[in-house]
Amino acid sequence: MSAPAPAHWSTRARTGRWAAILAALAVVVALGACDAPSEPEPGPVTTTDPTPAQRAAALVATLSDDDLVGQVIMPAVTFGDPEGAAALVREFRVAGVILMPTSSRGHSAAEAQAMTDAIRAVQPQLGAGLPDLLIGTDQEYGFVTRITSGMTQLPAAMALGAAARAELTRSAWSGVGQELAALGINVDFAPDADVLSSPGNTTIGSRSFGADAVAVGEQAAAAVTGLQTAGVAATLKHFPGHGDTAVDSHTDLPVLRQSRERLDSTDLVPFRAGIAAGVQLVMIGHLDVSAIDPGVPATFSHKVVTDVLRGELGFQGVAVTDALNMAPAQRLSPADAAVRALLAGNDLLLMPPDVAATRTGLSQALASGQLPRARLVEAATRVLTLRFSLARGTRPDPSTVDSQEHRNAAAAVAAAAVTVLSGPCTGPLVAGPVRVTTAAGRDQAGQWLSAALTALGVPVVSEGGSQVHLVGRGDGAEDLAPGAAVTVAMDTPYLLASADSPVRVATYSSTEVAMHALAAVVAGQAQATGRAPVAVSGLPASACR
């Protein structure tokens, strides 16, 4: 609820309306929407449709304070609760929602469709003129994937980094972007633009494209382009870079101790590349960046968000916080966190732990002057500009979901990613029958590999044979199989340094297409063309390239 209206409310409202108009027009100018020549050439009179920025500025000037506050809030809703999601949107009139899982195994495309249908059904009740709601999710692929069945599954980002073929990345992400759009999702909180500088960083791990900043930038830009050409807004994360720390920002505040020079030459490089590619959102991480604003989480740092992201990198899109229900943000009350995040320069508040308290706190800060109206108008205008820009596209036909064309694109990049770090580069990797074994919890990947090998004519046995052992995320030396002929890393490849197998292979992913690509290499029917995008102690990036 808003704070009680002061006695001079009508004067304040009129003054605020003009302030809103002026502030919104300033944002339009910054977005490049008012760049018509001062002396147009004479000619026939034509009319053009207003740009998304112009439409946003006009709409913002008409919004009540409650609706203005709602435009900067994006709470979480859970899969399987469409009625609850619709009720939340109806009550708080927010800019949109992020779909979050209730199961570690993820959810189906049908569940996603049910959620988006229920949320969009509320749209007519929110008032005339408002564009489509933002409906987002974390569909990174790899171990951060919310929709795990019923749609095309890409390998993890590190696999795309190993393939190092931007055109394959762009095609694969365009395909899944079309599928997300067909399911009613118009924002993907991906790709991860973090440069993986620390091998102990399991929070990021295979979510990163790799350790080379320029290569990560090329891949991030390709993923952004693929998603956004499909009509889904991409999000670079976690600014200014979560790759050089082993601390998980979900549970504590990581401190980035690298110099400003290293930030510029490494961590910021992929963000520059993604911004140059036209990315529409950048997510600010809960990170203490010592070289810029020591002791202040980037989420709440004006120096990081406004001075660096806006001023130095020139980003004009939507700056979105990382989830405000994470531990570093919850050191503040929901109201204080929301106000401080907006004052820092963020435009969209993601997953506040208490939506009511967040809205009340923002309304009170606006009424008291703690939150300048111009800052709120600027943020709301950016968010509405994004919403109007996404509303211009047509929703793809449902038949595009899990189509053969898109599965082929995923298979192509998975095949290009397979890396032999030690062992033969031509012919079968092992002779005779194969026995597939796995670390605990990897049964599905083992079954996919066994089936794929069988389909290629390779005998698969349960006893004897040449052992091909699969390990994945979270596995350690105790999960290796001593004496295995082949050890395969289905996540980051660092564990291969501890394996004693003569043949060591990385797929960086445990998807079905990754196991089919692995089977072709094991059978000698395809060459391993990937290169490890991170350094593995004692092993080359590739034994074959």
Active site (catalytic) residues = 250, 322
Cα–Cα nearest to 321, from 258, 239, 398: 239
Number of H helices, E strands in the chain: 17, 20
If you search the block for the tokens 């304070």, which residue do you land on? Answer: 65
Q: Sign of dihedral through CA atoms 221, 209, 269, 165? A: negative
- Amino acid occupying residue 80: G
What is d(CA 275, CA 281) in angstroms, rounded to the nearest whole number?
Answer: 9
Which residues have a Cβ under 8 Å from the Cβ of 141 and sit 6 or more positions away? Answer: 153, 154, 155, 156, 157, 176, 190, 509, 511
Cα–Cα nearest to 518, from 440, 458, 464, 462: 458
Cα–Cα nearest to 24, from 72, 62, 70: 62
CA-to-CA dists, residue 212 to 225, 262, 476, angstroms: 20, 13, 25
- Here the tokens at position 164 are 């190092």
Contact 467, 486 (CB under 8 A): yes
DSSP state of 192: B
Q: Supply the angle between the helices 52-60 and 373-391 in degrees, to the nearest 10.
A: 140
Contact 229, 182 (CB under 8 A): no
Q: Tell me how crowded residue 247 is: count the other CB atoms within 10 A of its CB.
A: 18
C-alpha 201 chain-centroid distance: 18
Cα–Cα nearest to 286, from 260, 337, 323, 318: 323
End-to-end CA distance of the chain: 62
What is d(CA 533, CA 527) in angstroms, rounded to the nearest whole number?
Answer: 18
CA-to-CA dists, residue 235 to 4, 186, 365, 389, 511, angstroms: 37, 11, 28, 15, 23
- Amino acid occupying residue 67: D
What is d(CA 252, CA 287) in angstroms, rounded to the nearest whole number?
Answer: 9
Helix %, strand %, coil % for the chain, to 5?
45, 15, 45
What is d(CA 4, CA 12) in angstroms, rounded to the nearest whole number?
Answer: 13
The residues facing 289 across adjacent strands are 256
Cα–Cα nearest to 257, from 295, 228, 284: 295
Contact 389, 50 (CB under 8 A): no
